[in-house]
Every structure is written in C-alpha cells, then in structure tokens.
Amino acid sequence: VAKTSLTSPPWPEVKLPDPVEEAKYHAEVVQKVNGLIAAGQYGRLFAVVHFASKQWKITSEDLIMMDNVLEAECGDRIRMEKVLLVGADDFTLIGRPLLGKDLVRVEATVIEKTESWPKVNMRFWRRHNYQRKKIIANPQTVLRINTIEIYPCLS
Amino acid sequence: RYVRQLQRLQLLFSPTAADARGARQFVEEAAQDFARQHPDVVLYVSPHKGPGPAPVLRAEYLNGTVREELIASKTSEEIVQLATKMANQSGLDIIRIRKPFHTDNPSIQGQWHPLTNKPSILTVQGPRLQPQ
C-alpha cells in the first residue's frame, strides 16, 4: 500500500516501555516518595481543593473568601475534604480525581462572616416607564488555611 | 488562635424617643444573652436623656475603624441580628475587593516562565538537520 500524507498521524510515534519494567520503576518511585514524606524533607506544601463549587490552589496561612454562608461560627476549625492535588518542591501527588482522606489533611479556620460591598441591581426598559432599583449585599465568609499535612501511606 | 476583631459595641439611644423602642426592648431582654454568647465583646449601653441624636449601634474594631448603624424603628430581633453580624465582621472597610484569595507565597515549585520545560539551547536540533 502506498504511503500518503495521511497513513501515519502527524505527531511522532511514541514507543511505550515494557510494563514489567514500568511496574518496577513505579514501585521504586513510590518508595522514594514515601521515604521523603516519612523523613519530613519537604518544604511548603500546596494543595488544590474543591470547595464551594470552585477549585482553589492553597498553601498554609493564606486567605480565601467565599460568596456564601457556612454553618460554622467564627473561630471554628474546618477540615476540607475533596483534595485533588498535593505538591511540594520535589514531588506532587495527583488524585484521580480525589486523593484519599487518610493521605492528606487540610485544616482551615473561619475568620469572619461579613457582607459584600453593596451592589446595585437595576432593571430599566426604555420608553416603558419601568425601572426597579435594588441594592444587594451578599454574605461572605473568610477562611484562613492553617495547615496542610500528608501522611506516608502510598501504595 | 482566633481573635475576634470587634473591640466594643456601643449602644447610644435615648429612653424617651419613640423610635428607640426596639433598642429599649433589646436592652431589657436580649442584651444579657448577647453578652453571654460573645464573651470577648464588650457591650456598652449609654442612654442619653432628652431628644438627642438618632439611636445608633456603634462598633469599634481592632484596626481603629468605627462603624455606625441606625437602629431607629427596628425590632429587637433585627437589632440582635445586626449585632451578631457586626460582631462577626472585621474592621476592613467594605469596598470591592479584586481577588477572593490572598497568599504570601504564591509559587512553591518555582514560578512558571516561558523557558521552563524546554530543552536547553545546547541540545536543540534544527528542523533541517534531522535526516528524513
């Protein structure tokens, strides 16, 4: 069969390595990462957390503001589940799509519950003598992420 | 490790005015419960005699901002809600904030610049040098 410009795909063909070797390599990498975590040789940890229908990239001691009302009082500690990604300087742990709860622990405190700045909601139809003006102030919550911890229980 | 940002709440009203009825009821019934529920907030009640200024709930915060809210013609439940709301706030002024997050260390693995994840100049081969 003659070779035309559409016989092979335009991207370079990639040869996958041997699955047995691949499994050995994986086990070695996992062991190394486990060792690093157990020894505590990571600096700052960052995490990608799904919270309030949004995904945030958070580190320790940073502020996050939600446009809703949480049922926790000011000063309560909150543990966030639904962690998608955890990373440090040398390694990252990617979840598919979530990481296990016995692996990561993200803690946050509710700092304040205020309202947003007064937004104007106005509806106006021209030549119909119709205008309505309403001032909206959404309730907001401010959280501060206290700690992100990981435990060496990979597999 | 949580410090409430409200320093003190001052309730200024006059006992004879007609629109301070909610404030008077709040002081009679709910002020003690409120003070017990928020033990780290100081509540001052200062009635001034005679027809003076309108009844006002003034909140002072730890960074010095003073916020006053009118409580004229409000029921005592509404005043309780207002007071809890101001107790939960911090002293930052309520303007439009541009970003809903704030970090001191935004990048951990190094900030991305267009030269990350690219092979170095020494090993780059031109497109014509590869034999087809």
* Neighbouring C-beta atoms of residue B74, cutoff 10 Å: 22
Asked whether the beta carbons of B41 and B85 are under 8 A apart, the reply is no
B11, B17, B20, B25: CA torsion to nearest 10:
100
Select the residue of A66, A88, A146 nearest B108 (Cβ to Cβ). Answer: A88
The pLDDT tens digits of the residues spanning A37-95 come to: 888 777 788 888 888 888 888 888 888 888 888 888 888 888 888 888 887 777 788 87
Select the residue of A63, A67, A146 nearest B102 (Cβ to Cβ). Answer: A63
Closest CA to A147 of A77, A73, A76: A77
Cβ separation B100–A64 shorter than 8 A: yes
Residue A8 lies in a domain: no
User: Which residue shows structure tokens 């949480």?
Assistant: A70
The pLDDT tens digits of the residues spanning B33-91 come to: 887 788 777 888 888 777 777 888 888 888 888 888 888 888 888 888 888 888 888 87
ipTM for the predicted complex: 0.71
The pLDDT tens digits of the residues spanning B105-120 come to: 877 777 888 877 777 7
Percent pLDDT > 70 in chain A is 99
Interatomic CA distance for residues A6 and A4, integer angstroms: 5
Question: How many structural domains is chain A composed of?
Answer: 1
Residues in chain A within 8 Å Cβ distance of B102: 62-63
Closest CA to A108 of A76, A130, A135, A151: A76
Task: Select from 3.40.30.10, 3.40.50.2300, 3.40.50.2020, 3.30.565.10 the CATH code of B6-88.
Answer: 3.40.30.10
Using the Cβ of B1 and the Cβ atoms of chain A, whether some distance falls under 8 Å is answered with: yes
Note which residues in 68-107 of chain B have CB less than 8 A from chain A.
85, 87-90, 94-97, 100-105
Residue ranges of the domains in chain B? 6-88
For A25, how many CA atoms within 13 A lie in the half-sphere containing its CB?
6
Using the Cβ of B124 and the Cβ atoms of chain A, whether some distance falls under 8 Å is answered with: no
Residue B102 in this model has a pLDDT that exceeds 80: yes
Asked whether the beta carbons of B71 and B55 are under 8 A apart, the reply is yes
User: Residue A122's domain spans which residues?
Assistant: 19-150
